[in-house]
Chain A
Amino acid sequence: MWNKYAIPLALVLALGSIGFALYEKMSTPHIAYVRIKDVFEGFDMKKEMEAKYVRENTSTQHALDSMALLLQVQSTSLQATVSPEPEAVNRFQLCRNSYFSQQQQAGTDQQSRLSTYNSQITTRMMQYVREYGKANGYTCILGDDGNGSLMYAGDAIDLTIPVIRYLNERYSGQKK
């Protein structure tokens, strides 16, 4: 008699266990965190944008250095002359003003570019982390910025490394 009920009973129990496990999995919040600074530093887009930023700054600096050298030559020439022509002095002053104005503009542009690039990298990073979270069934992925907003989280829920890997694959266009 027991044999007759054993198989259906085992099936019911197995299905029940699976159902319960699924319910548990779906109802329990799936929370993890990433170390924001490490993710940002490990993101290839940041590395490439940084290289681009340095390249652009170097190019601007070269132009400024050329102007500075020209100013120095003019200044030396004026100092060597006992009574320099007023036109030459005016030209020098105009060049000097232009140099300072361009130097100031370069500083402003540099700041503006830095801010733009940082914003582009952060926006992209957040989009990819959201995609990663959705694709892997996370309820939420917290960001540890090292300022105490996340006081403690165990290593078991630290997603920093897999998220960096995902970000770089996604950025290179290999993963969708």
Chain B
Amino acid sequence: MKPHVRFLLLIPLLAAACSRNAAPGSPEHLQAVAQTVLDKQQYTAWFDSKENHQRREETFGDKTYRVMHLPAALLALREVGAAAPDTARKAAEEHYSDLEYFRLEISGTANGSELLKSGAVDASEYNRRLTYSSFGMQKDLSIVTSSGASIPCAIFQFERSFDVAPVARFLIAFDKAQLATAEKFSFVLDDRLFGNGLIKFPYTKEELQSTPQLH
């Protein structure tokens, strides 16, 4: 067989090999993810890995905004721990089932300093940021569906990191029933904390539902 004919025969094989490593978020990838069964440790690790298609990231200046969807199963597993029996985990999962949870993480580059202090000219600006992060930010977070409907934030919690790392984390939840009707939507933050304005993180219903199965 001539060499170029042999090379031509290799093309379908290469294409098949490539399709196994489908791009994150593609229908093939989502299908593969949904069929994956992981043990408790692998399941938790998957959400922090680059394989997780439910992570979104945007950088503006020296601030990076990361959004991650947190399914009820993950929250329940983290709450009861890997050693807990499945019945306890299932009960905890039920507790989280009415809402759709997300984690928003804002990080900066100021090493060893609290994020809210970065660029703050005085103590009053720091205090204003702190109050806003604890109470005011909730109204600046929403989900906007492709039909233009806006779903307000139902639960909001600011996790302060003090001087451990220049990171601020927020746990946010939206009504699952309202979200269930939207095929496409965006997690929207109107950033008044660092003045970066409207920031959008798009999701599809399929992306949100495609998570690995817990063994």
Contact = CB atoms under 8 A, between A and B. Distances in A.
Interface of A: 45, 48-49, 52, 116-117, 119-121, 123-124, 127, 171-174
A173 B201 contact: yes
Contacts of A117: 197
Nearest to B190: A52
A125 to B, nearest CB: 11
Contact of B200 (A52, A116, A119, A171): A171
B186 A49 contact: no
Given A124-B60, A127-B60, A172 B198 contact: no
B99 to A, nearest CB: 22
Interface string B71-104: 0000000000000000000000000000000000
B58 interface: yes
A21 B11 CA distance: 30
Contact of B202 (A119, A127, A174): A174
B200 A121 contact: no
B198 A173 contact: no
Contact of A120 (B58, B186, B197): B197
B195 interface: yes
Contacts, number: 31
B197 A124 contact: yes
Majority secondary structure, A binding face: helix
Contacts of B186: 172-173
Contacts of B61: 123
Given A172-B186, A173-B186, A48 B60 contact: no
B197 A173 contact: no
A121 B202 contact: no
A116 B195 contact: yes
Contacts of B198: 45, 48-49
B25 to A, nearest CB: 11
Contacts of A171: 200
B195 A173 contact: no
B160 interface: no
B56 interface: yes
B200 A120 contact: no
B36 interface: no
Interface in B184-207: 186, 190, 195-198, 200-202
B56 A120 contact: no
A127 B186 CA distance: 21
Interface string B52-74: 00001010110000000000000
B202 A173 contact: yes
Residue among B58, B61, B197 facing the most chain A CB atoms (10 A cut-off): B197
